[in-house]
């Protein structure tokens, strides 16, 4: 069990950053975990607080450390990554998950998104992109590796673009300018309260707009709305 959890000791001299992103690495290969921990240690605002070698250890570690980000491999012995994600859906943890995998199974990517992961990064991705994905996800955005975007978009956008006759006429209703602004902010990771403050409206008004947007576009939640926005290039506000 010695290699299953490695804690980073807190600095005793008070020189650590005022705030940092607490990260847990979950992968069953000790060499990969060790190398990734060393890479992340070069970032002043990152702190790897623990490591896990399977899903069961992940759940125990989240209970103890409540990290900001979980880097999760999909293929692990015992409790695998997808099952771990599924269990986290009903947990109290606010940890955001980035799937970090060598898998090429696009169905797994789609399933991971449905189970609430905030990002997907392939292990062969350049280090600087992994670092960027951690910061983006921590700030509330969704991160999809370019290799996985098309597969995920096809899954989430198909019911939006192809409407059975007479069943989804409401999706054809155009969005108002204010609704488009809200779609952009959702895709950028803003929460209802933050959008309300930014747009100088009440939080209830934001909720009302979201209800109308969901109805017009035929989406069921914020994730599908964000993916739709990216697919339709609405996330930049252009």
- Tens digits of per-residue pLDDT, 32-90? 999 999 999 999 999 999 999 998 899 899 989 999 999 999 999 888 999 999 888 87
Residue 172: CB partners within 8 Å, gap ≥ 6? 163
Which residue range forms the structural domain that includes residue 212?
163-231
Distance of CA 134 to the CA centre of its chain: 9
Same domain, 31 and 113: yes
**CATH code of 71's domain:** 3.40.50.2300
Residues 102, 74: Cα–Cα separation, whole Å? 9
Same domain, 170 and 101: no
Q: What percent of the chain has pLDDT over 70?
A: 76
Q: What is the pLDDT of residues 137-175, one digit of tens each?
A: 998 888 886 666 656 665 555 544 433 333 344 445 688
Same domain, 148 and 171: no
**CATH code of 210's domain:** 1.10.10.10
Query: Is residue 234's pLDDT more than 50?
Result: yes
Domain assignment present for residue 116? The answer is yes
Q: What residues does 101 pair with on adjacent strands? A: 122
Domain assignment present for residue 237? The answer is no
Of 94, 125, 154, the one marking the end of a domain is 154
Q: What percent of the chain has pLDDT over 90?
A: 39
Same domain, 105 and 199: no
Q: Which of 60, 59, 68, 65 is nearest to 10 (CA)?
A: 65
User: For the chain, how many structural domains are there in total?
Assistant: 2
Same domain, 101 and 26: yes
Of 120, 154, 188, the one marking the end of a domain is 154
For the ranges 3-12, 164-173, 191-200, the lowest mean pLDDT is seen at 3-12
For the ranges 134-138, 167-171, 190-194, the lowest mean pLDDT is seen at 167-171
Of 154, 176, 210, the one marking the end of a domain is 154
Strand order in the sheet with 143-144: 46-52, 21-26, 69-72, 96-101, 119-122, 143-144
**pLDDT reported for residue 164:** 37
| pTM tops 0.85 | no
Residues 61, 229: Cα–Cα separation, whole Å? 34
Q: Decide: residue 6, CB within 10 A, 0-12 exposed, 13-18 middle, 19+ buried.
A: middle
């Amino acid at each position: 069990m010695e290699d299953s959890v490695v804690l980073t000791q807190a600095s005793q001299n008070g020189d650590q950053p005022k705030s940092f992103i607490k990260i847990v690495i979950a992968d069953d290969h000790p060499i990969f975990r060790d190398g990734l921990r060393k890479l992340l240690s070069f970032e002043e605002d990152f702190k790897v607080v623990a490591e896990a070698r399977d899903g069961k250890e992940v759940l125990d570690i989240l209970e103890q450390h409540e990290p900001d980000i979980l880097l999760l491999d999909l293929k692990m012995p015992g409790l695998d990554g997808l099952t771990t994600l599924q269990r986290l859906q009903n947990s109290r943890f606010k940890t955001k998950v980035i799937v970090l995998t060598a898998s090429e199974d696009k169905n797994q990517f789609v399933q991971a998104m449905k189970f609430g992961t905030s990002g997907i990064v392939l292990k062969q991705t350049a280090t600087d992109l992994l670092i960027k994905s951690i910061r983006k996800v921590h700030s509330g955005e969704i991160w999809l590796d370019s290799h996985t975007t098309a597969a995920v978009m096809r899954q989430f956008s198909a019911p939006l673009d192809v409407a059975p006759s007479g069943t989804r006429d409401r999706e054809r209703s155009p969005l108002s300018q204010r609704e488009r602004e809200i779609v952009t902010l959702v895709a950028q990771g803003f929460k209802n309260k933050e959008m309300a403050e930014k747009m100088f409206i009440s939080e209830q008004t934001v909720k009302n707009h979201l209800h109308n947007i969901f109805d017009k576009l035929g989406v069921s939640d914020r994730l599908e709305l964000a993916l739709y926005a990216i697919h339709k290039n609405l996330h930049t506000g252009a």
